């Protein structure tokens, strides 16, 4: 079975102490014990080492960065490099979140550069894609997402592609309380898998976990995750409440 993943994206929320408390509350339930499950916490940079220390002895729990630089090193004030993440043993990193694409002008090309740096260090990229509302309303979301995949991922070898986790996050569903319907999510996830299959073959495409993100909550995770091509979720708001995120972890197939 493909890996089923519950990934928390804390974004720019919580103080250090609040973050410590939240992690402690979730981890004391130790829910990530099924072999094909992974629970990932994407925490702010200053909390990475603390979060890593809290999870190192636990199976199937991982800590992710929320972003990394597309430059290797040098005079880029305020940036955090992949080598820095590697040096503190971080094994996952979100890239291309729609908030980064929109507010920090991240392009598909820039994300291709980040992917290369992450894969060189054997860090799993959680690559976000997804369409804005006007594209969904024009019913051109399949082409839009296909272009994001092609321009950022298609230079990779099949072996490298297999190391990538994809998160489909329709922008109109992020933080809005509006989720894609199970049909809309399944349809796009199947489309993403078929785009990957056309380029890399069905065997490769079938190995790749594709997460859904966009207002996943404790009360809808079961239904969303049940779809055959949905392999868990990338969760913003609901990952900040221990009991809610625990329910979301429990909803993994």
The residues annotated as belonging to the active site are 97, 169
Given the complex with ligand PEP, which of 19 and 214 has the nearer CB atom? 214
Q: How far is CA 40 from CA 4, 133, 222, in A?
A: 11, 28, 18
Interface residue with ligand PEP among 4, 5, 6, 9 (CB under 6 A) is 9
Is 237 annotated as contributing to ligand binding? yes
- Does residue 25 contact residue 242 with C-beta atoms inside 8 Å? yes
Is 57 annotated as ligand-binding? no
* 175 sits near ligand PEP (criterion: CB under 6 A): yes
In the complex, the smallest distance separating the C-beta of residue 25 from ligand PEP, rounded to whole angstroms, is 19
**Least distance between ligand PEP and beta carbon 111 (Å):** 15
Which CB, 199 or 220, lies closer to ligand PEP? 220
Nearer Cβ to ligand PEP, position 68 or 200? 68
Cβ atoms of residues 83 and 124 within 8 Å: no
Judged by CB under 6 A, the chain residues 184 through 243 that form the site for ligand PEP are 213-216, 234-238
Cβ-contact 167, 189 below 8 angstroms? no
70 binds ligand PEP (CB under 6 A): no
The least distance separating ligand PEP from the CB of residue 240, rounded to whole angstroms, comes to 9
Q: Is 70 annotated as a binding residue?
A: no
Under a CB-based contact definition with an 8 Å cutoff, are residues 10 and 42 in contact?
yes
Binding residue (CB under 6 A) for ligand PEP from 38, 86, 131, 169? 169
Q: Segment contacting ligand PEP (CB under 6 A): 112-120, 140-148, 153-161, 169-177? A: 169-177
19 touches 47 (CB < 8 A): yes
Report the DSSP beta bridge partners of residue 165. Answer: 126
User: Which lies closer to ligand PEP via its Cβ, residue 19 or residue 86?
Assistant: 19
- 105-108: list long-range contacts, CB under 8 Å, 24+ apart: 108/147, 108/148, 108/151, 108/152
- Binding residues vs ligand PEP (CB under 6 A): 9, 169, 174-175, 213-216, 234-238
Which residue ranges are tagged as binding site for substrate?
9-11, 175, 215, 236-237
């Amino acid at each position: 079975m493909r890996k089923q993943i519950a990934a928390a994206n804390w974004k720019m929320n919580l103080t250090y102490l609040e973050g410590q408390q939240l992690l402690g509350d979730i981890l004391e339930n130790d829910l990530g014990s099924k072999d094909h499950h992974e629970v990932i916490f994407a925490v702010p940079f200053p909390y990475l080492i603390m979060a890593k220390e809290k999870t190192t002895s636990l199976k199937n729990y991982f800590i992710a960065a929320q972003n990394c630089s597309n430059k290797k090193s040098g005079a880029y004030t305020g940036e955090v490099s992949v080598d820095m993440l590697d040096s503190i043993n971080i094994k996952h990193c979100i890239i291309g979140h729609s908030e980064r694409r929109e507010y920090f002008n991240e392009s598909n090309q820039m994300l291709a550069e980040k992917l290369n740096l992450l894969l060189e260090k054997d860090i799993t990229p959680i690559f976000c894609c997804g369409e804005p509302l006007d594209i969904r309303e024009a019913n051109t979301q399949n082409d839009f997402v296909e272009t994001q995949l092609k321009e950022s991922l298609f230079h990779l070898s099949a072996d490298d592609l297999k190391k990538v986790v994809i998160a489909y996050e329709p922008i109109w569903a992020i933080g809005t309380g509006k989720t894609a319907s199970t049909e809309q999510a399944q349809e796009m996830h199947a489309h993403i898998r078929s785009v990957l299959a056309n380029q890399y073959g069905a065997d490769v495409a079938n190995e790749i976990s594709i997460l859904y993100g966009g207002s996943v909550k404790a009360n809808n995770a079961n239904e969303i995750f049940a779809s055959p091509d949905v392999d868990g979720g990338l969760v913003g708001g609901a990952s900040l409440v221990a009991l809610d995120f625990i329910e979301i972890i429990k909803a993994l197939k």
